[in-house]
Structure 1
Amino acid sequence: MPTIKSFPNFFSQTDPHILQNIKTVTEHLTQYYHAKCYIVGGAVRDRMLGDTCKDYDIECFGISIEDFETAMEHLGAQGVGKSFFVYKYHDLDISLPRTEQKVSKGHRGFEVSLATEEKEASRRRDFTINALMYDIQNERILDFWDGLKDLEDKILRVVDKRSFVEDSLRVLRAMQFAARFGFKVEEESCRLCQGISLDDLPKERLFKEFEKMFMGSYLHYGLYYLLALGIGKQLFNEDMGKRSFIVLSRILQRSQKNFVEALRPYYFLFICKSYFSLDITEILERLGAPAVYYKKVAAPPLPTDVTVSFIAHLSLKEGIIEYVGNYHKDVIAVAKKLDVWDKPFDRGVIPAQLMAEGFSGKALGDELQRRTEEKIMSLKEK
């Protein structure tokens, strides 16, 4: 029997448009087909953590495949994974409960069967905190795997060992969940992850999970499990000594309070690149990262001594707000002092003025550079 927790105000924080779509779907399925509808997966976890839910998955029990497809057609829902019984209705994912069995290599090599019971369907989830179900009609949480306790204890625990090892992506999900929520991977689950090969994962799937880790609020947890789960070793042949890990972990932990939100995806790699043995470009290529990552992460590293000259030269084209090293307190202080936090450095002269003085071509560029350096030198002397 599951643990049952009454939760009548589950939807109190839900966007009204999303809530209306949920009502439209569930009322149609319950009224005409007597189906039972549950919110499943991350939305339940996030609501229990007090976070805003954006992506809702609805799982429908007690309805045949034929009736389900008819209902989806009536609603105008689009099939996005018909072999997995998954449909999209606006921002909602609607599906039938299923079990999955690995039958061939690759992330698509699963044989899917219809599940009839809630516990059977929830068994395919990766971690207990993601296996919670919200019974919409009866306004209650169903917990078959002690996920509520693991949420309270901030633990990531595997639901089912057999099904877990069939999807190697789940190892990366452990890493990114730890980085996002500040959760620890339970010891036995950690050992399970360490024994799973990651060589069947394509770049796009790797990057998607790493990007979630990069966006996390607990990057030191992400770093720890990148190493502890063997992900760094398998994907990048990357390992790290205890001393380097401790130093880097502390930098990540104390730096996050100064992160600019627009640059959040790039800080982790920028900060870590001086500690990794592998060239950061090789890591980005292995992940299939977008071009913007190469530009941001390859920015000049922080010098030991953050000088006026360094910050002035760095801000000749754009404000320091665009520089990924802007989390450092000395960078912030000097940038604010030079008034280049959110705008370029004032050279004290513009090309039009030099052209009026008779400069052109290469001489114009040389003179602009000379006067810029002169302006910077005058600031250094103050």
Structure 2
Amino acid sequence: MQKIQYPIILNIIFEKLNLFGIKPVIIGGYIRDHLLQNDSKDIDIELYNVENIDQVEDILKEFGSVNEVGKAFCVIKLNIEDLDLDFSLPRIDSKIGSGHRGFKITTDSHLDFKTATSRRDFTINAVGYDVIEHKLLDPFGGIEDLTNKQLKAVDLNKFAEDPLRVFRAIQFASRFELEIDEKLLHLCKIMVDNNQLNFLSKERIFAEIEKLLLKSKNPSSGFIFLKNIGLFKMFVEFNTLSHEEFIEVITLLDNYKRSSEFTNKLSLITMFVILTSKFQIRDIEIFLHRLTDDKEIIHKVLNIHNFIRTPSYTLSMRIDKKVLESYLQSIQMKNYKAFMDMVEPKIKGKDLIAQGIKPSVEFSEILEEKYQKQIKGYLS
């Protein structure tokens, strides 16, 4: 079995836990990313043979500041250097009601690894590493699925209990360039057809779309998945586009990701500008409000589109120039530098005030008149 490399600093914690008879198992994303040779700073660790979560907290306190936000779910967070560590107890999730909160969570640190892992979404996220015995734990064949570039559910029945997993399947398949297993894809389509995803909160959906955009090399594949399983009925604005327009938009997304080194909010906003570039202004606003309450994203995307379609002095003072330039580069506008030079008003309110003109209706009209001449190249 392959030995998993992890930050050496963790050995101090693992040795201390082992003194109390606690067995740590690194699980999930860190193992998956390591097998794919991707870097990761987020490490999930399941602890077996633990009396209770308070015992875990007492042990971890000496290593740094403990975050108790998830303690009610038997999860303790610890930040060491630049690592984000989640320590949790093995558990079983039982569906007892609707929504993502409709689960009964039963922790049991004496569960066997296969039983504890059976609640996870995909086989590639159900691979663990026993740090004491130095061996990989793979009860559902996740390593083979990674090798074969397949995305499979651990348990199709449990998968169907959380509709968000459909979005997770799409962003995972896109990010890691995997083919969704035929049975899983069929289940996703059924869940969409049955409107099971309609009750997901916009915050949870947005988080998955954000990962799709920021972490996929080719986000286009994710949006093709969204279309093919019928999820455009949740994003009806895409149905207003022709096939050619849709392909143009998702191709621009891929081109932007290949040319951009950023994975921050500026990059995310730019991709939303690209994604909505063929929508009508009203549709852009509806689409964004359906997806997020983030006013910065909504305002910046709308301002860019409004300015591009109808440039004005007022909008020129509101738009994010970095986002605009990033977008113009993404659409390969040949003279984008010359255009950017004209975006910034040459004559501003302070210039009129210096000439003795007081702010008034006429004041705004003069600024707009000069700006229109400027962007048409008539103002030197």
| TM-score normalised per structure 2 | 0.80
Structure 1 residue 88: deviation in Å?
Answer: 2.0
Question: Please, which of 349, 361, 381 is the counterpart of residue 359 of structure 2?
Answer: 361
Distance, in Å, in 2 between the alignment partners of 1:358 and 1:329 is 42
Equivalent in the alignment of 1:188 = 183
Distance, in Å, in 1 between the alignment partners of 2:370 and 2:67 is 62
Equivalent in the alignment of 2:293 = 289
Is structure 2 residue 80 aligned with structure 1 residue 73? no
Distance 1:351 1:47, change over 3 A: same
Distance, in Å, in 2 between the alignment partners of 1:204 and 1:165 is 20
Equivalent in the alignment of 2:24 = 37
Distance 1:23 1:229, change over 3 A: farther
Equivalent in the alignment of 1:212 = 211
Distance 1:339 1:273, change over 3 A: closer
Is structure 2 residue 107 aligned with structure 1 residue 107? no
Residue pair 2:26, 2:129 contacting (<8 A) in 1 also = yes
Residue pair 1:164, 1:170 contacting (<8 A) in 2 also = yes
Question: Please, which of 128, 152, 157 is the counterpart of residue 133 of structure 1?
Answer: 128
SS in 2 for 1:264: helix
Equivalent in the alignment of 1:223 = 223
In angstroms, what is the RMSD of aligned CA positions? 3.4
Equivalent in the alignment of 1:52 = 39
Distance 1:359 1:179, change over 3 A: same
Distance, in Å, in 2 between the alignment partners of 1:111 and 1:317 is 48
Structure 1 residue 266: deviation in Å?
Answer: 2.6
Structure 1 residue 258: deviation in Å?
Answer: 3.9
Residue pair 2:24, 2:47 contacting (<8 A) in 1 also = yes
Distance, in Å, in 1 between the alignment partners of 2:141 and 2:152 is 9
Distance 1:137 1:126, change over 3 A: same
List per-residue Cα deviations over 1:148-180 (Å, max 9, x = no partner).
232233322111112111111111111222333
Equivalent in the alignment of 1:270 = 273
List per-residue Cα deviations over 1:52-82 (Å, max 9, x = no partner).
2121111112x1434x532323433454444
Distance, in Å, in 1 between the alignment partners of 2:32 and 2:181 is 17
Distance, in Å, in 2 between the alignment partners of 1:339 and 1:288 is 29
Equivalent in the alignment of 1:157 = 152
SS in 2 for 1:99: strand
Matched to 2:224, the amino acid is: Y
Matched to 2:131, the amino acid is: I
Equivalent in the alignment of 1:326 = 328
Structure 1 residue 353: deviation in Å?
Answer: 4.6
Matched to 1:287, the amino acid is: L
Equivalent in the alignment of 2:78 = 89
Distance 1:376 1:80, change over 3 A: closer
Matched to 2:303, the amino acid is: A
SS in 2 for 1:6: coil
Distance 1:45 1:302, change over 3 A: farther
Structure 1 residue 102: deviation in Å?
Answer: 0.8
List per-residue Cα deviations over 1:119-138 (Å, max 9, x = no partner).
22222111111111122123
Structure 1 residue 38: deviation in Å?
Answer: 1.1
Equivalent in the alignment of 1:254 = 255
Residue pair 2:304, 2:320 contacting (<8 A) in 1 also = no
List per-residue Cα deviations over 1:322-344 (Å, max 9, x = no partner).
2263343443x42323564xx96
Distance 1:71 1:325, change over 3 A: closer
Residue pair 2:373, 2:379 contacting (<8 A) in 1 also = no
Unaligned runs of 5+ in 2: none
List per-residue Cα deviations over 1:30-62 (Å, max 9, x = no partner).
1122x221111111112222222121111112x
Distance 1:296 1:369, change over 3 A: closer
Structure 1 residue 188: deviation in Å?
Answer: 1.6
Structure 1 residue 356: deviation in Å?
Answer: 4.1
Distance, in Å, in 1 between the alignment partners of 2:103 and 2:17 is 28
- The answer to which of 371-380 and 43-52 deviates more is 371-380
Residue pair 1:319, 1:345 contacting (<8 A) in 2 also = no
Distance, in Å, in 2 between the alignment partners of 1:203 and 1:104 is 20
Distance 1:98 1:322, change over 3 A: same
Distance, in Å, in 2 between the alignment partners of 1:156 and 1:82 is 31
Unaligned runs of 5+ in 1: none
Is structure 2 residue 202 aligned with structure 1 residue 203? yes
Q: How many residues align?
A: 358
Matched to 1:65, the amino acid is: E
